[in-house]
Amino acid sequence: MGRVQDKVVLVTGGARGQGRSHAVKLAEEGADIILLDICHDIENNNYPLATPHDLEEAGLEVEKTGRRAYTAQVDVRDKETLTRELANAVAEFGGRLDVVVANAGICPLGGDLPITAFADAFDVDFVGVVNTVHASLPYLKSGASIITTGSIAGMIAATQAASAGVGPTGPGGTGYNLAKSFVDQYTKALALQLAPLSIRANAVHPTNVNTPMLQSEPMYRVFRPDLENPTAEDALLAFPAMQPMPIPYIEPQDVSNVVCFLASDESRYVTGLQFKVDAGAMLQF
């Protein structure tokens, strides 16, 4: 306990899934949390996103640990609103911001989606990360940590060796993969720029994670293209193809454990790295 004691942490996409898991883990370890989430659906993202109720519940979970939570509905594509809400949140916490977890992301899948799905995925998954980090930079001081969320699927796509039926498909999937590969490059370049200030930046790349993004009909169809209407049970048979370790997916907590390490002073000289929480997925490429 206390690995990030009294730090102030920003988590985007904090209402559910990986973001909520990160927020609660860091609160349990002593941090106060700023939770931002869009809390409404995006037209071309063909599975439901978090709701205002989800964000409220995430804030309550943080507060149950005895730490403070600041919640706001923010679309990370909207830099003006993001900057304003972050300023309000930082003011609530006495002007401090120690850790940034740029986690918000979407993955619209399917060849039947319009080209605007490419733009939506890229804008949320890459531009949203850039907006989050750049809005945070004025508050960060020596010892601060920036953690971006990449993707093993994006890294596989970047090698141009993704197996058929494994990677996301359609314009939204392509936008997702491109965005995640850019997140990786951006994080490494950012780390070099921030190193003289003793501010760190690292990317976390999960494989399949047991969240609503994975547990969705569009994702089931990607993993089971042989079936017209695959179920969760059908997809469960195919999910292990991503990892050589015999599991269908990891849990959000598995990623949160790495995020907590990177947020803490335990990793004070760790910067510019990729942390693959992937059960060996990248070893196959």
Active site residues: 176
Strand partners, 99: 9, 145
The identity of residue 175, as a single letter, is: G
Q: Rounded CA gap, 254 and 265, in Å?
A: 19
User: Cα 51 vs. chain centroid, distance in angstroms?
Assistant: 17
The identity of residue 78, as a single letter, is: D
Tell me the two tokens of residue 274: 């990729």
Rounding to the nearest 10 degrees, give the CA dihedral for residues 97, 98, 102, 103: -110
CB atoms under 10 Å from CB of 111, counted, come to 10
In angstroms, what is the C-alpha Rg of the chain?
Answer: 18
| Contact of 113 with 47, CB cutoff 8 Å | no
